[in-house]
């Protein structure tokens, strides 16, 4: 039968009424295949294999959502970004938090049942591009499966949190990380990894749920060509040039997956190149970059039993802008031109919304969902019509390109409402300057290896200019019609980096935002029907479930992630900076719970020592800061509210203390590792001089 636009196995009327897991509480193929009918639980990342994030529950609806109140909350023990989707199984809620920790709660009362800390070493933070986040768990049998930041896959006993087995899935000597949620298909646990900015080679692998044995591994980019390579990698190698394998290649599978059981196809999203700048990764005969570089920025269909390649569609051939295709992949059955089509939908970073035939991988349609300048459109074969000026690796000149590396849509999950026929996209508009670096060399130890000047877009110490630029960075909730390929309505947000989305049978769309609100909108027209002051930015997606016939909505709150750790927190929202207060929030009708009073944001004074370094030293410090520091401590050292604002650091007062932190690794347990292998003492001292100069500029400009 059809349910919510996706074909699932037929269920008896009795099982539909029960809408729960098996009597034993074990999760197997039957439960996962029939998850659409199980409205009580949320047993896989996107609720179903189709990843639609739609629940038919309608107890909470447009007519009574204004009566929604806080049922309970639970504080997390980390003050870093929270991105996880909870799982709910037979009244128990399971979630991951920052640093790959796991917690289990009673879903009705909020009682903590157990917790698990995998003890990820603090120094692993230096390998993570975008905060020490984790996006969730998978389940099979009586186990939960967790991917850790340091590359382990861990099986936990669901009732107790006890470790059953763990496997190291990545090379610990390289800068691999895991932040995404695993998936399970027929007893095979699937997990990818991240790290393309640091020079790794991407892959996805399958592990036996019973014992963790690796069953297969699918690489997304070719290694040094060999006669033993599988055919799909031999074909890919023809689209590369030079000695790309020495730089890793990239193509990490760090988030999106979906599965069609009828076609027996697993769909994965593949990430950006390493380095970003194609001229260094795949130089071509003229050294300015050449080739499509498969399977970067592609959706790839493989067989989950064997890892066999079936088809691919590349959204951004020859990617050079960090335009990943790792964003949410969603499956649905749509009527297009009067015919039913099995489709795959994605709104990747590059700003186009794609509808693809999921049987064949053939392009059906694609239109921009945000304004963009890198491409003029998509041709009839599904290939982008590029703007030559955006090909900075070819021109050798800087260019302001829309979207920038954060994309028009990032990891935040979309949702699909089959009744409305709409996909709800957490979108935003943020351009960036791509400035090629001549003579760039990779650093295998530390820092982003992207081949661009990450300081080219630094803003001057002028509050009006900064506010004007930040004012052009827009966030929005888009209700997108995938058949007509246009927005039906949109809600403008005060800032970007807004939360993942949930759609329900009650005619509602739930989403948090960077203005510290958790909101419910009318799915038909976008009218805001309810709002809760969450006291912190909400970037994670909500879920909904029932216990004893009562519907709950839960969301993990906590400001963090790529934008949050690099943006000037005071300029995201004119009213107040966004701070991290990591909590699980759970709501139901008629509840009247309250949060504790919101604490004031602790902010050290902007009181730097005098700037006495010469211009040459400060310029060197600016260059090295952009390469090694900006990704965590914000461009131009403007500071964020999640990680330390270096302009206010007490280490600026003492050269020796600063060097002990930067080169000595004095704070490595907190994630601030030693950069001694990448930065000389002179270079580290120049970074200090640059931060002092910036702090004095901002103090003089009144940017305190």
For 196-240, what is each residue's pLDDT tens digit? Answer: 999 999 999 999 999 999 999 999 999 999 999 999 999 999 999
Residue length, the chain?
704
Average pLDDT over residues 107-122: 98
**Cα-based torsion angle of the residue sequence 27, 29, 35, 36 in order, rounded to the nearest 10 degrees:** -170
Lowest mean pLDDT among 100-109, 318-327, 643-652: 643-652
d(CA 517, CA 539): 10
* C-alpha span between 466 and 197 (Å, rounded): 27
pLDDT on residue 16: 34
Contacts of 505 (CB under 8 A, 6+ apart): 54, 55, 56, 57, 58, 61, 419
Instruction: Assign 258 to helix, strand or coil.
Output: strand
Sorting pLDDT into bands at 50, 70 and 90, what band is 15?
very low
DSSP state of 459: P
DSSP 541: P
Rounded alpha-carbon distances, angstroms, from residue 381 to 257, 313, 321, 362, 366: 24, 11, 22, 8, 11
pLDDT at 602 over 80: no
Q: Which two tokens stand for residue 696?
A: 């004095």
Distances (CA, A) of 345 to 51, 56, 352, 483: 10, 21, 11, 11
- Cα 16 from Cα 558, distance rounded (Å): 35
Q: Which pLDDT tens digit goes with each residue over 393-441?
A: 999 999 999 999 999 999 999 999 999 999 999 999 999 999 999 999 9
Q: Identify whether the C-beta of residue 398 lies closer than 8 Å to the C-beta of residue 433.
A: yes
Q: What is the pLDDT of residue 469?
A: 75
Task: Give the range among 43-57, 307-321, 391-405, 435-449 with minimum mean pLDDT.
Answer: 435-449
Task: Return the percentage of the chain with pLDDT > 70, whole number.
Answer: 95
- Taking alpha carbons only, the member of 687, 703, 695 closest to residue 648 is 695
Whether the Cβ atoms of residue 169 and residue 219 lie closer than 8 Å to each other: no
Distances (CA, A) of 138 to 85, 97, 267, 634, 702: 10, 14, 17, 33, 49
CA 147/CA 464 separation, integer angstroms: 43
Residue 229 among the catalytic residues: no
Catalytic one of 292, 322, 458, 645: 322
Whole-number Å distance between alpha carbons of 620 and 628 = 12
Other CB atoms within a 10 A radius of the CB of residue 396 amount to: 12
Of all helices (H) and strands (E), which one includes residue 518?
strand 517-522
Token readout for 675 is 């950069």
Pairwise CA distance, residues 647 & 688, whole Å: 10
Region of 123 (left: φ > 0; alpha: ψ -120 to 50; beta: rest) is alpha
**Residue 498 contacts by C-beta under 8 Å, 6 or more apart in sequence?**
412, 426, 428, 475, 477, 511, 512, 513, 514, 538, 539
CA–CA separation, 257 vs 270, rounded Å? Answer: 10
Looking at the chain, the whole-number percentage of residues with pLDDT higher than 90 is: 86
β-pairing, 501-504 vs 54-55, is parallel
Q: What confidence score (pLDDT) does residue 41 get?
A: 98
pLDDT at residue 593 greater than cutoff 60: yes
**Residue 703 confidence (pLDDT) above 80:** no
Region at 497 (left for phi over 0; alpha for psi -120 to 50; beta for the rest):
left
Q: What is the pLDDT of residue 21?
A: 58
Q: With bands split at pLDDT 50, 70 and 90, how would you rate the model's confidence at 555?
A: very high
- When mean pLDDT is compared over 24-28, 46-50, 663-667, the highest value belongs to 46-50
Which pLDDT score, from 0 to 100, does residue 468 have? 74
H/E stretch holding 260:
strand 257-260
Q: How far, in Å, CA of 119 to CA of 104, rounded?
A: 17
Task: Write down the mean pLDDT value for the chain.
Answer: 93
| 382-395 residue pLDDT tens | 999 999 999 999 99
Predicted local confidence at residue 10, as pLDDT: 35
What pLDDT is attached to residue 66? 98
Structure tokens at 420: 């409305």
pLDDT on residue 423: 98
């Amino acid at each position: 039968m059809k349910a919510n636009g996706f074909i699932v196995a037929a269920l008896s009327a009795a099982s539909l009424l029960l809408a729960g897991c098996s009597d034993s509480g074990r999760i197997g193929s039957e439960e996962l295949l029939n998850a659409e009918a199980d409205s009580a639980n949320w047993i896989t990342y996107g609720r179903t294999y189709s990843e639609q994030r739609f629940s038919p529950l309608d107890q909470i609806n447009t007519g009574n959502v204004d009566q929604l109140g806080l049922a309970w909350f639970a504080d997390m023990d980390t003050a870093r970004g929270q991105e996880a989707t909870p799982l709910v199984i037979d009244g128990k809620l399971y979630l991951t938090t920052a640093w790959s920790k796991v917690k289990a709660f009673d879903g009705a009362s909020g009682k903590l049942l157990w917790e698990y800390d995998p003890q990820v070493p603090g120094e692993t933070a230096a390998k993570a591009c975008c905060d020490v986040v984790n996006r969730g768990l998978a389940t099979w049998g009586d186990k939960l499966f967790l991917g850790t930041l340091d590359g382990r896959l861990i099986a936990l006993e669901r009732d107790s949190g006890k470790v059953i087995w763990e496997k190291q899935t990545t090379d610990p000597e390289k800068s691999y990380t895991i932040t995404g949620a695993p998936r399970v298909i027929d007893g095979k646990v699937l997990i990818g990894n991240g790290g393309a900015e640091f020079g790794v080679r991407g892959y996805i692998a399958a592990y036996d749920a019973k014992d963790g044995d690796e069953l297969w591994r699918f690489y997304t980019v070719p290694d040094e060509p060999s006669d033993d390579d599988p055919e799909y990698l031999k074909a890919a190698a023809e689209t590369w040039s030079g000695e790309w394998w020495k730089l890793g290649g990239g193509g990490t599978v760090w988030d999106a997956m979906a599965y069609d059981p009828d076609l027996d196809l697993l769909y994965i999203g593949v990430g950006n190149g390493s380095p970003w700048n194609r001229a260094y990764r795949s130089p071509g005969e003229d050294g300015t970059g050449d080739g499509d570089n498969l399977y970067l920025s592609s959706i790839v269909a493989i067989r989950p039993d064997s890892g066999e390649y079936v088809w691919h569609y590349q959204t951004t051939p020859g990617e050079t802008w960090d335009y990943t295709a790792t964003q949410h992949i969603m499956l649905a059955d749509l009527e297009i031109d009067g015919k039913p089509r099995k489709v795959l939908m994605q709104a990747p970073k590059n700003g186009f919304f794609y509808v693809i035939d999921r049987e064949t991988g053939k392009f059906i349609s694609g239109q921009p969902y945000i304004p963009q300048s890198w491409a003029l459109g998509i041709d009839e074969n599904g290939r982008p019509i590029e703007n030559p000026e955006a090909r900075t690796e070819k021109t050798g000149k800087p260019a302001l390109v829309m979207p920038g590396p954060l994309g028009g849509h990032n990891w935040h999950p979309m949702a699909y409402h089959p009744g409305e026929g709409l996909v709800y996209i957490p979108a935003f508009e943020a351009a960036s300057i791509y400035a090629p670096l001549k003579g760039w060399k990779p650093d295998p130890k530390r820092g982003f290896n992207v081949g661009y000047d990450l300081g080219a877009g630094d803003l001057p110490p002028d509050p009006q200019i900064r506010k004007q630029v930040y004012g052009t960075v827009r966030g929005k909730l888009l209700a997108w019609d995938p058949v007509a390929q246009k927005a039906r309505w949109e809600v403008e947000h005060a800032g970007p980096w807004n939360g993942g989305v949930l759609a329900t049978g009650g005619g509602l769309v739930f989403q948090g935002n960077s203005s510290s609100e958790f909101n419910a909108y009318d799915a038909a027209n976008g009218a805001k029907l309810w709002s809760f002051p969450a006291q912190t930015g909400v970037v994670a997606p909500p879920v909904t479930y029932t216990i004893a016939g009562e519907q709950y909505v839960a969301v993990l709150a906590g400001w963090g992630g790529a934008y949050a750790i690099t943006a000037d927190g005071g300029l995201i929202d004119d009213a107040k900076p966004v701070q991290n207060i990591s909590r699980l929030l759970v709501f139901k009708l008629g509840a009247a719970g309250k949060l504790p009073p919101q604490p004031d944001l602790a902010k050290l004074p902007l009181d730097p020592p005098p700037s006495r370094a010469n211009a040459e030293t400060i310029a060197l410090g600016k260059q090295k800061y952009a390469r090694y520091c900006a990704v965590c401590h914000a461009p131009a050292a403007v500071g964020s509210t999640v990680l330390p604002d270096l302009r206010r650091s007490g280490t600026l007062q003492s050269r020796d203390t600063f060097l002990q932190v930067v080169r000595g690794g004095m704070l490595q347990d907190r994630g601030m590792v030693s950069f001694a292998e990448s930065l000389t003492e002179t270079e580290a001292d120049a970074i200090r001089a640059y931060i002092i100069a910036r702090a004095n500029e901002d103090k003089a400009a009144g940017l305190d």
